[in-house]
Each structure stands twice: as structure tokens, then as C-alpha cells.
């Protein structure tokens, strides 16, 4: 699940010294609206077709137009989560990937990263979802897992969300393998856990799948 594993092999880069006419030709051939700009193996940002089409002459160099998202990149050995974090911060469809010596390797499409993220959350597996609220100091996944397994259920995925109003409070969202989580909820409550929400997933599209789909549509990718 490293950034390097999701580099798209068919997205070319363009040099800052090359004319915008060449960039537009590459975009047209590959049906792209954005290209990564690289010079001397160093990632400099992205150039958009809208910016290029505003220029008066096609022989103007890329160096003379405004680039975007110069800091929208991660190292090759960073996790997929870092790719999604950077993509979210910059609201971009691609994230550049570099070696630790700053040499450019390629780009990761946000769509590919989201798809891999969704698969990692096991959202395609039917089951149920529990949301637990607690203090960070009290969070022990091994203990929560033990209680859940005592009810013959298993955790498929786990996510933590911090409370913006209380840095010590967290919400733990658990995806379980059993559709009926009522007995698990009762056990957790009996042992002092505050269960904020629980829901059985119906056959068909899960809530997580729907959210991922909505995000992809928002990004128009």
C-alpha cells in the first residue's frame, strides 16, 4: 500500500522548457486536462489546459505560465493514506511521487488511490458497522477485538476519527463480518463502552461505497 505501487505508467510529464503547444498536443492525444511538469528529474507542479488555452502563442514555454500544486507530492515509500491526505488538501486528481533524493517517479491518480482505499476498508464485504466514542487513553484495539470475538464476530476494518473540539476524544468506526451486531453492541455497552451508532448493511451498495462513489463523481474522474 505504498505510493510507488499506484503510479500510473501512461501519464507523461512535460518539461518546463517545452512549448505549450506540445503540452496541449499531449493532452489531446491522451484525453487529459492536466500534465505534471518536471525539469531535471524534479517535480515542479501541474499545468492545466485552461491556463494553456488562455495564452496568445503556442510557442510560449511552460516556464511562462502559472503552475499549480507544486507541493502536491509524496515520497515513494509513503503510505496510500498519505496520497489521499495530500490529494484532499489540494483538491487535485493526481499526486506526484518522488524518491527520497527528490527524483520524480510519476503520478498517482486520486481515483486509483480511492479504489484501493475502499478495497482496504472491506466495504464490499457484507456485515455491520459500529461506532464507539471514547477517550484516546482508553483506546485498546486488542481489548475491543477480544470482546467482539467473544460474540463470534470479527473486525474487518477499523478507523479512528478525532474530535475537533476535544483532542483527547476519538470515535472508532468498526466494520464487522456479521450483519447482526446487536449482541456485540450489548457486550461493549456492558463493559463500559459508549456505542454511538450501529447499523446492519443491506445487500447492495453499502454506505461507504456510496460515499466513495459520490466523491469520485465530485472529482469528475
Domain boundary among 89, 118, 147: 118
Q: Which pLDDT band holds residue 121 (cuts at 50, 70, 90)? A: low
Domain membership flag for residue 136: yes
Residue 14 lies in a domain: yes
Where does 9-152 have alpha helices with state H? 20-30, 49-53, 80-90, 110-120, 141-149
- Asked if residue 216 belongs to a domain, the reply is no
Q: How many domains does the chain have?
A: 2
The 8 Å CB, 24+ separation contacts for 151-159 are 151/183, 151/184, 151/187, 152/178, 153/177, 153/178, 153/181, 153/184, 156/122, 156/125, 156/127, 157/120, 157/121, 157/122, 159/121
**170 and 200 both lie in a single domain:** yes
pLDDT band with cut points at 50, 70 and 90 for residue 32: very high
Burial class from Cβ neighbours inside 10 Å (0-12, 13-18, 19+) for residue 76 reads middle
What residues are paired with 183 via a beta bridge? none
Residue range 51-73, pLDDT digits in tens: 999 988 899 999 999 999 999 99
Percentage of the chain lying above the pLDDT 70 cut: 86
Q: What is the pLDDT of residue 203?
A: 44
Kindly report, residue by residue over 40-51, the tens digit of the pLDDT. 999 999 999 999
Residues 167 and 84 in one domain: no
Tell whether 7 and 99 lie within a shared domain.
Answer: yes
| Within-domain flag for 217 | no
Domain-embedded: residue 135: yes
Can you tell me the mean pLDDT for 24-35? 93
Whether 41 maps to a domain, the answer reads: yes
Q: How much is the pTM? A: 0.63
Mean pLDDT of 151-170: 84
96 and 148, same domain (yes or no): no
Same domain, 112 and 162: no
Looking at the structure, tell me whether residues 192 and 145 fall in a common domain: yes
Structural domain boundaries, residue 24: 3-118
Q: For position 214, what pLDDT does the model report? A: 53
- Domain with 175 in it: what CATH number? 3.30.70.260
User: What pLDDT is attached to residue 162?
Assistant: 82
Strand pairing partners for 35?
A: 47
| pLDDT of 183 over the 70 cut | yes
Q: Tell me the pLDDT band of 198, cut-offs 50, 70 and 90.
A: low
pLDDT at 191: 93
pLDDT at position 215 is 52
Beta strands in the chain (DSSP E): 34-39, 42-48, 73-75, 94-98, 104-109, 128-135, 155-163, 166-176, 194-200
Indicate whether 112 and 133 sit together in one domain: no
pLDDT band at 205 (very low <50, low <70, confident <90, very high): very low
With a pLDDT cut of 90, the percent of the chain lying above it is: 53
User: CA distances (Å), 26 to each of 36, 42, 53, 77, in order?
Assistant: 11, 20, 14, 29
Amino acid at each position: 500500500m505504498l505510493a510507488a505501487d499506484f503510479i500510473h505508467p501512461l501519464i507523461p510529464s512535460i518539461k518546463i522548457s517545452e512549448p505549450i503547444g506540445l503540452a496541449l498536443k499531449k493532452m489531446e492525444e491522451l484525453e487529459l486536462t492536466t500534465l505534471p511538469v518536471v525539469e531535471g528529474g524534479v517535480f515542479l507542479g501541474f499545468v492545466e489546459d485552461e491556463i494553456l488555452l488562455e495564452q496568445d502563442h503556442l510557442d510560449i514555454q511552460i516556464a511562462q505560465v502559472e503552475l499549480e500544486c507544486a507541493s502536491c507530492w509524496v515520497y515513494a515509500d509513503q503510505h496510500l493514506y498519505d496520497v489521499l491526505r495530500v490529494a484532499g488538501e489540494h483538491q487535485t486528481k493526481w499526486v506526484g511521487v518522488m524518491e527520497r533524493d527528490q527524483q520524480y517517479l510519476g503520478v498517482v491518480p486520486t481515483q486509483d488511490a480511492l479504489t484501493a482505499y475502499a478495497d482496504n476498508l472491506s466495504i464490499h464485504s457484507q456485515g455491520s458497522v459500529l461506532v464507539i466514542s471514547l477517550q484516546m487513553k482508553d483506546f485498546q484495539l486488542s481489548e475491543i477485538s477480544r470482546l467482539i470475538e467473544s460474540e463470534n464476530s470479527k473486525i474487518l476494518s477499523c478507523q479512528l476519527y478525532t474530535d475537533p473540539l476535544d483532542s483527547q476524544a476519538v470515535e472508532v468506526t468498526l466494520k464487522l463480518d456479521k450483519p447482526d451486531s446487536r449482541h456485540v453492541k450489548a457486550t461493549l455497552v456492558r463493559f463500559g463502552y459508549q456505542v454511538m451508532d450501529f447499523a446492519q448493511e443491506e445487500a447492495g451498495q453499502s454506505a461507504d461505497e456510496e460515499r466513495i462513489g459520490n466523491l469520485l463523481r465530485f472529482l469528475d474522474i
